[in-house]
Structure 1
Amino acid sequence: MSLYTADSVLSKLVNILMRDGKKSTAQRIVDEAFWILKREYQVPDPASYAKEAIEQAKPVVELTRYRLSGRNLQVPSPLMPHRATALALRAIRDAVRSERRERGAAARLAAELVDIHRQQGVAWKRRQDLHKMAEANKMFTHLR
């Protein structure tokens, strides 16, 4: 039994990293990232480390659009746990695909997971920006 089929969060990470149906390539990227975490960052258990990073990258609220008097308002609303996980995984995927400078997808994934633990990185910043916007628009929560 594979590590990815046993844990739903890690299998979702593999699935969201997959391109053009190439799941084995996505699994190899995650395996290499775990190996890099173990070797370069001295992480004893990379799988639980990755799950903790995904938990930390989860947003608590999201902004939904609401049209009122010809204006589009952004109304903060709480997130269901599975939606929060999906948003965190997408933010990590986007960071791995485009916004990091390391060479190789596995190195970018490992560095992003470490940065999330340090409360830095692209996915963490996206979460913080979303929470900041929700805080700025909290006056519209009665429209939910």
Structure 2
Amino acid sequence: MLKKRGILLILCALFYAVLCIFSIVTGIIYAGGKRELNPLELSDSFMDKLSDPGRRSAFAKKMGYVTIIVGIVQGITSYCLFAGKSPQAWWVALGFTIFSIGSVSVKLKGKINAFPLLKAAAYITILVILLLSSTRMIYFGA
């Protein structure tokens, strides 16, 4: 199975698996109210709107639940990359990768932060790998 998948797809799947665990743990921390919002991840104008500590705490909890859901979807994407054998698995991986590129682009608007930049580079690399003809042959057959 490993030879058929190829090292590039396995690395992409591992990247999504690590992000899955990171997102779920971070989401639980935010949803539980154990951490404040990270101002580096949000624009200055948005942080100004959340100047009230109560609103900021409520938003952090909501963001935590969304982060947990994103982590679950990253896990599904990791599974699709590692074990998926159908065109549907390829489409799921492709769709979430494109969504992730857009999401990171919105986060980068107005701020330069190393972590989102690295994630954007990784997502673009995964997109290129998914679009390779050899990768599509794995999912669509020859």
TM-score, L = length of structure 1: 0.31
| Larger strand share, 1 or 2 | 1
| Larger helix share, 1 or 2 | 2
TM-score, L = length of structure 2: 0.32
